[in-house]
């Protein structure tokens, strides 16, 4: 009777010809017609209010041991998609799509209905690529299948919905966040794929230059103060902060995070998810954390004056605070904190360092080749003279893109006493950058150029990354 669970109804009585069901009020008539067709039975329905139905459904599900929790909370009874026996068109398509996306290490799947067809795209290494199109006649069935897997309301197609799927693909456990929105031609669905088997990156894995790696290690070991990771959404800021936490994690350290939502699960680190509906914001959560005797606090994002103020207070009272900020470069973090109402002397006293970053695609090793760059290409990177650059020709391994995987480009600003004194005089980003460069500060463009010359990425990719603000 799995089909009944998929259609969000509860069987009450059944014989050879008839089936009596419990359903919530306002249940879609057409779904009942589908059930009649599928089961080839007459269907009688008892309608109850949504709360009563939800309670009964929860009670029934609790009686079924569908998923077995392991000792460490790992779900051991997830069915592997590769072993899925249901071969209906929608099920087969969703399974093959997820298998292909996992094989390519896609981070997102977009299913977008338009007038002529529904288009499926994969995000690979941060860039969307066309995968295939499907007829509109199949689109609705595919969306329904995804919504069933994500425990979303199949009958409701007029409002946005969110859900989660946990599946296995070839032995790899995947957490999938699902988002649907109604459009003119049907529901548009985006799936965010998170591989639970992926290990967290260490500081050595991020792509930091030897010089910047030493700076970040020093910042991570600070006994107190604020260390910020800055950059646009999707630039790897949280990954960097978690790499810092891995570097300093010890049994004698009390490390607590507050995030929206936690991106990794780390043994020995207490993680809190913000929940504005019940008043648990970054600011209120940070206040509560300070009463938990922490040594290190990670705040997902400083986005308002209240959170900034509490973070500064925490840093000045003996805590190491790691957080993210949306600024384009490292020196702009000072101006941003000033904009949030933090006094210059408090910024100078509490801020220890800023790591600004972007992600760039790495050249595919399978089809990597050398070429002579044009004069214009060299000028764009501030170079002149004779150089050899590298690029990927495109192959089956990289889906014809010439790129496989990503790495970071960074600028790491350590605030020594001279720089702190300078910040007391001015919070102007241009002036701070000029002063820092006199002291040997290397910006993101310089770090990126080094990676182009080393054959890690392309000049085209570097310009794309640093110009996307």
Specify the higher pLDDT residue, 276 or 411.
Answer: 411
Same domain, 77 and 169: yes
Return phi, psi of residue 255, to 5°. Answer: -110, 125
Same domain, 162 and 273: no
- Assign 430 to helix, strand or coil: helix
Same domain, 58 and 72: no
Same domain, 297 and 375: yes
Question: Is residue 200 situated within a structural domain?
Answer: no
Q: Which residues lie below 8 Å from residue 151, measured CB to CB, with a gap of 6+?
A: 163, 164
Question: Is residue 204 situated within a structural domain?
Answer: no
Q: What is the pLDDT of residue 92?
A: 83
Q: What is the pLDDT of residue 70?
A: 36
Question: Is residue 201 situated within a structural domain?
Answer: no
Tell me the mean pLDDT in the region 375-402: 91
Q: What is the pLDDT of residue 71?
A: 37
Q: What is the pLDDT of residue 121?
A: 96
Q: What is the pLDDT of residue 119?
A: 96
Q: What is the pLDDT of residue 3?
A: 53
Query: Residue 197 — very low, low, confident or very high, per pLDDT cuts 50/70/90?
Result: low
Query: Residue 8 — very low, low, confident or very high, per pLDDT cuts 50/70/90?
Result: confident
Q: What is the pLDDT of residue 69?
A: 36
Q: Which of 172, 195, 218 is the last residue of a domain?
A: 195
Q: What is the pLDDT of residue 32?
A: 74
H-helix or E-strand containing 462? Answer: helix 459-467
Same domain, 42 and 70: no
Q: Which of 195, 230, 246 is the last residue of a domain?
A: 195
Q: What is the CATH number of the domain that holds 219?
A: 3.40.50.300
- Show the 3-state SS of 343-404: CHHHHHHHEEEEEEEEEEEEECCCCEEEECCCHHHHHHCCCCCCCCEEEECCCHHHCCCCEE
Same domain, 144 and 10: no
Q: What is the pLDDT of residue 58?
A: 66
Q: What average pLDDT is seen over the chain? A: 88
Q: What is the CATH number of the domain that holds 183?
A: 3.30.450.90
Report pLDDT digits (tens) over 258-267.
Answer: 998 787 888 8
Same domain, 284 and 317: yes
Report pLDDT digits (tens) over 355-373.
Answer: 999 999 999 999 999 999 9
Tell me the mean pLDDT in the region 17-41: 77
Question: Is residue 203 situated within a structural domain?
Answer: no
Report pLDDT digits (tens) over 420-436.
Answer: 999 999 999 999 999 99
State the Cα torsion 59-61-67-73 to the nearest 10°: -40
Specify the higher pLDDT residue, 12 or 187.
Answer: 187
Query: Residue 64 — very low, low, confident or very high, per pLDDT cuts 50/70/90?
Result: very low
Same domain, 47 and 84: no
Least confident of 170-184, 273-287, 309-323: 170-184
Q: What is the DSSP letter of 26?
A: T
Q: Which residues lie below 8 Å from residue 248, measured CB to CB, with a gap of 6+?
A: 220, 221, 255, 296
Question: What total number of domains does the chain contain?
Answer: 3
Question: Is residue 147 situated within a structural domain?
Answer: yes
Q: What is the pLDDT of residue 209?
A: 96
Q: What percent of the chain has pLDDT over 70?
A: 90
Residue of 313, 302, 323 whose CA lies nearest to 343: 313
Same domain, 191 and 267: no
Question: Is residue 431 situated within a structural domain?
Answer: yes
Q: Which of 195, 224, 246 is the last residue of a domain?
A: 195
CA angle 137, 142, 144 (to 5 degrees): 110
Same domain, 70 and 39: no
Same domain, 445 and 407: yes
Query: Residue 30 — very low, low, confident or very high, per pLDDT cuts 50/70/90?
Result: low
Query: Residue 1 — very low, low, confident or very high, per pLDDT cuts 50/70/90?
Result: very low
Question: Is residue 89 situated within a structural domain?
Answer: yes
Query: Residue 80 — very low, low, confident or very high, per pLDDT cuts 50/70/90?
Result: low
Query: Residue 86 — very low, low, confident or very high, per pLDDT cuts 50/70/90?
Result: low
Same domain, 155 and 262: no
Tell me the mean pLDDT in the region 139-162: 92
Q: What is the pLDDT of residue 40?
A: 74
Cα first-last separation, the chain = 52
Contacts within 8 Å (CB) and 24+ apart, 129-132: 129/399, 129/401, 131/97, 131/100
Q: Are 48 and 25 in contact (CB under 8 A)?
A: yes
Tell me the mean pLDDT in the region 84-111: 82
Which residue range(s) make up the domain with 173? 66-195
Q: What is the pLDDT of residue 74?
A: 42
Q: Are 439 and 418 in contact (CB under 8 A)?
A: yes
Question: Is residue 202 situated within a structural domain?
Answer: no
Whether the ω angle into residue 115 lies within 30 degrees of 0, i.e. cis, is no
Q: What is the pLDDT of residue 469?
A: 40
Specify the higher pLDDT residue, 96 or 122.
Answer: 122
């Amino acid at each position: 009777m799995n089909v009944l669970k998929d259609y969000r109804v509860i069987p009450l009585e059944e014989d050879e010809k008839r089936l009596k069901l419990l359903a919530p009020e306002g249940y879609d008539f057409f779904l009942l017609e589908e059930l009649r067709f599928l089961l080839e039975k007459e269907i009688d329905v008892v309608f109850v209010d949504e709360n009563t139905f939800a309670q009964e459904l929860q009670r029934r599900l609790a009686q079924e041991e569908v998923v077995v929790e392991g000792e460490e909370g790992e779900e051991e009874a997830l069915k592997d998609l590769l072993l899925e026996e249901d071969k209906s068109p929608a099920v087969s398509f969703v399974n093959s799509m997820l298998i292909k996306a996992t094989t390519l290490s896609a981070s997102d799947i977009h299913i977008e209905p338009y007038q002529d067809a529904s288009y499926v795209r994969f995000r690979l290494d941060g860039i969307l690529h066309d995968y295939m199109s499907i007829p509109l006649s199949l689109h609705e069935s595919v969306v329904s299948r995804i919504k069933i897997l994500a425990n979303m309301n199949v009958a409701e197609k007029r409002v946005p919905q969110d859900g989660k799927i946990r599946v296995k693909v070839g032995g790899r456990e995947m957490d999938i966040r699902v988002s649907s929105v109604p459009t003119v031609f049907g529901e548009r669905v985006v799936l965010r794929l998170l591989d639970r088997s992926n290990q967290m990156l260490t500081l050595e894995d991020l792509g930091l230059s030897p010089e910047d790696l030493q700076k970040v290690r020093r910042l991570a070991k600070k006994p107190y103060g604020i260390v910020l990771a800055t950059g646009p959404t999707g630039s790897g800021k949280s990954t960097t902060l978690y790499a810092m936490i891995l570097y300093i994690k010890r049994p004698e350290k009390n490390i607590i995070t507050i995030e929206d939502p936690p991106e990794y699960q780390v043994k020995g680190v207490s993680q809190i998810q913000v929940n504005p509906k019940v008043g648990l914001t970054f600011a209120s959560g940070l206040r509560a954390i300070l009463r938990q005797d922490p040594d290190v606090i990670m705040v997902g994002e400083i986005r308002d004056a209240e959170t900034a103020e509490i973070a500064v207070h925490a840093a000045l009272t003996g805590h190491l605070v790691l957080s993210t900020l949306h600024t384009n470069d490292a020196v702009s973090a000072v101006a941003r904190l000033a904009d949030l109402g933090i006094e210059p002397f408090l910024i100078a006293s509490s801020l220890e360092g800023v790591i600004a970053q972007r992600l760039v695609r790495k050249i595919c090793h399978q089809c990597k080749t050398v070429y002579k760059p044009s004069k214009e290409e060299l000028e764009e990177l501030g170079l002149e003279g004779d150089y050899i650059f590298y690029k990927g020709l495109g192959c089956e391994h990289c889906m014809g893109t010439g790129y496989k995987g990503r790495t970071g480009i960074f600028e790491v600003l350590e605030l020594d006493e001279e720089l702190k004194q300078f910040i007391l005089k001015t919070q102007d980003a241009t002036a701070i950058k000029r002063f820092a460069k006199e002291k040997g500060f290397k910006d993101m463009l310089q770090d990126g150029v080094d990676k182009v010359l080393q054959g890690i990425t392309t000049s085209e990719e570097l310009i794309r990354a640093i110009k996307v603000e």
